[in-house]
Structure 1
Amino acid sequence: MRGKVFVIGLGLIGGSLALSIKSTHRESVIIGYDVNKEQSRLAVMLGVVDEIALTIEEGASEADLILIAAPVQETERIIHMLKDCKLKETVIISDAGSTKKEIVGCAKVLKEKGITFIGGHPMAGSHKSGVTAAKTLLFENAFYLLTPDKHISDSEIAMLKEWLSGTKAKFLTISPEEHDYITGIVSHFPHMVAASLVHQAEKTSHTQTLIPRLAAGGFRDITRIASSSPSMWRDILLQNKEVLLDLMEEWQEEMEKVKKMLNKENSAGIFEYFSQAKRFRDELPRKEKGAIPAFYDLFVDVPDYPGVISEITGYLAKEEISITNIRILETREEIYGVLAISFQTEEDRERAINCIEQYTSYETTIGL
């Protein structure tokens, strides 16, 4: 396809969408815009976009496709700006927000102008941010949810999919309401729970001084999503308020059920509760990308001597294997390993296992 694509927001998601489109539609021109001028400069320098627009109005005027890769509340503001812009009659506008009902509802102002808007949510991310972390295949094999309003035609959806074919994502078309309910369960609510667990630990740490040290292992890992952007999660919670309030009610009922089993010392019930959870969790696809970016962790049982970390990282660097995080664990329940290394993909983790086995005799364990 040939045309002009305008990407608003040149962070990880916007930059990766731009690169995926460039990889497939080489004759198209990718125009970018970001309120952060440094991100814009880097986007051009790195070849993520071909040109930079000074304003949204300028970039949108001749675009065949407009992608909004901004926080959800900012996306609504941009939609209202676009409704007053002079746009091509055939333009398709989409977004990449984590909530859909409010945004698709907001986009009715575009519908009134005869402008096509199709809600979108590429369900992939990274532990890095900014345009420098953008990757052509960030969304490869990830689910890409499209949430068109009822008046959107199949041909318009097909056109958007063709523009986005370079993502190599798995496209699913669902209603905005279904999107918000599903992502509420598998993404938004887990982030709330993780944050609440951290709050509980922080509150208790005032009287139990060992908590920060002991939480450095498994607790830190199971609550790591609590380190996500506070402003982003503020907006998501407010946008998906109704769903999350219902889920909180259901969670309270679930905890009451556990509380009753504990009060009654219902050994069989407690065992079955954990057993059922284990069965369902173990049956979840391990190699599928889901709503929350996967963490590909590797735990290495290393001897305690100076230079052992640089030794391991040196071997990984020699094999050109990138890592996203590395840390020492003082304690790690049920896992033998003191050096925890995180990777961006499962392929990188597998290569790291082979690398460490090749150069050392250290035992490795993967995080499940």
Structure 2
Amino acid sequence: MKGHVFVIGLGLIGGSLALCIKKEHPEATLVGYDLNEKQCKLGKMLGVVDEIADSIESGAVHADLIVIATPVKEVERLIELLCDLPLKEKVIITDAGSTKTEIVKKAACLKEKGYTFIGGHPMAGSHKSGVTAAKPILFENAFYLLTPEPDTKQEAVETLQLWLKGTKAKFLKVLPSEHDYLTGVISHFPHVIAASLVHQAEKTSQTQNLVTRLAAGGFRDITRIASSNPTMWRDISLHNKNVLLTLLNEWKEEMESISQMLIEENEEALYQYFYQAKKFRDEMPIKEKGAIPAFYDLFVDIPDYPGVVSEITGYLAQENISLTNIRIRETREGIYGALVISFQTEEDREKAESCIKRFTNFETSIGL
């Protein structure tokens, strides 16, 4: 497809979307804009975009597709700005925010002027940020939720999907309210719970000095998402507050139910509680990408002798396998291995597992 694509926000998501569009539609012109001048320069230098707009106004008025890849609060402000501009008649505007109801409401002003807004949410991410982390395979096989309104022309939805074809994502169309409830359950609410667990551990650490040290194992892993950007999660929580409040009330009832089982020492009820949780969790798709970015960890059960870690990293280097993080866990109860190596992709993890098995007799696991 030919045309001008304007990407506002040259971070991980905006940069990756630009790369996908550029790869699939080489005749299109990719124009980028970011408040961070450094991100703009890097985006142009790395070939993520072809041009950098001097302002949002100058980039938007010539665009056939406008992609807003900024935090949700900023999306609202940018929609207001776009409403006052003389955009192309057939322009399509979309976003990549994690909430949809409030954003779609805000976009009513675009609709009144005859422009098409289709909410979007690519459910993929990374533990790195910025345009330098952008990659065209980020969304491959991930779910990409679109929230067109009932009166949105099907032709416009199909055009947007055609522009985004290079993501190789799985497109799903849902209502904005449905989107917010679904992402609330499997993304926003878990972030709140992870943060609360960390807060509880922090309070306990004031009287129990060993908490911090012991939490370096599995506890640190299950609360990883609590390390996410606090500004972003403040805005998401406020945008999706009604869903979160509903889920928090349901959570209170859930905790009351468990409390009662413990008070009554109801062994069968407790067994069934944990059994049903395990059963449902084990039936979840392993290969699917969900709302929370996957952690491609490889657990290696290593013996304790000098140089064992450098030995393993040396084997990986020989095979040109890149890793993103490596750490040793002191607490070994209920874990898969003492050494944890993190990778950017599942493919890298599989290569690493094969490499380690080929050169050593150490047991490995991906910790499903």
TM-score category by the smaller chain?
A: over 0.9
**SS of 2:277 mapped into structure 1:** helix
Percent identical: 70
> 1:7 is paired with a residue of what secondary structure?
strand
Contact in 2 for aligned 1:21/1:163 (Cα 8 Å):
yes
Aligned position for 1:120: 120
Length, aligned pairs only: 368
Q: Does 1:220 align with 2:224?
A: no
Match of 1:81 in 2: 81
Q: Aligned to 1:121, what secondary structure does the other structure show?
A: strand
The match for 1:282 is 282
How many Å separate the matches in 1 of 2:191 and 2:363?
Answer: 32
Matched, 1:309 2:309: yes
Compare 346-355 and 265-274 and name the one that shifted more.
346-355
Cα deviation 1:226-246 (Å, max 9, x = unaligned): 000000000000000000000
In structure 1, list runs of 5 or more residues that go unmatched: none
Distance 2:8 2:188 in 1: 24
Aligned-partner residue type, residue 327 of structure 1: R
What's the offset of the Cα at 1:127? Answer: 0.9
State the alpha-carbon separation in 2 of the partners of residues 225 and 360 from structure 1: 32
Structure 1 SS opposite 2:340: strand
User: Offset at 1:347?
Assistant: 1.5
For residue 336 of structure 1, report the CA deviation from its aligned partner.
4.6
How far 1:150 sits from its partner (Å)? 2.2
The equivalent residue for 1:107 is 107
SS of 1:327's equivalent in the other structure is: strand
Shift of 1:318: 2.0
Q: Deviations over 1:22-48 (max 9, x none)?
A: 111010000000000110100011100
SS of corresponding position for 1:77: helix
Amino acid corresponding to residue 366 of structure 1 in structure 2? I
User: Could you say what secondary structure the match of 2:285 adopts?
Assistant: coil
Q: Is 1:190 aligned to 2:196, yes or no?
A: no
SS at match of 1:10: coil
Q: What is the DSSP-based 3-state SS (H/G/I as helix, E as strand, rest coil) of the residue aligned with 2:200?
A: helix
Contact 1:8 1:67 in 2 (8 A): yes
- Does residue 253 (structure 1) correspond to residue 280 (structure 2)? The answer is no
Deviations 1:89-139 (A, max 9, x none): 010000000000000000001111111000000000011111011011100
Question: Is 1:72–2:72 an aligned residue pair?
Answer: yes
Corresponding residue number in structure 2 for 1:157? 157
Instruction: Extract unaligned runs of 5+ from structure 2.
Output: none
Q: Is the CA contact (8 Å cut-off) linking 2:298 and 2:341 kept in structure 1? A: yes
Secondary structure at 1:114's aligned position in 2?
coil
Report the secondary structure of 1:298's partner residue. strand
TM-score relative to the length of structure 2: 0.98
What root-mean-square deviation, in Å, do the aligned CA atoms of Structure 1 and Structure 2 show? 0.9
For 1:166 and 1:182, locate their aligned partners in 2 and report how far apart those are by CA, in whole Å. 25
Counterpart for residue 141 of structure 2: 141
Contact 2:218 2:335 in 1 (8 A): no
| Structure 1 moving runs of 4+ over 6 Å | none
Given that residues 14 and 68 in structure 2 are in contact (C-alpha distance below 8 angstroms), is that contact kept between their aligned partners in structure 1?
yes
Amino acid at match of 1:203: K
In structure 1, the partner of 2:96 is 96
What is the TM-score normalised by the length of structure 1?
A: 0.98
AA of the residue aligned to 2:48: V
SS at match of 1:311: helix
What is the distance in 2 between the residues matched to 1:162 and 1:257?
48
The answer to whether the 8 Å contact 1:335/1:365 transfers is no
How far 1:308 sits from its partner (Å)?
A: 2.5
Inter-partner Cα distance in structure 2 for 1:299 and 1:40 = 38
Cα distance in structure 1, aligned partners of 2:341 and 2:113? 51
Paired with 2:306 and 2:44, the residues of 1 have a C-alpha distance of 43
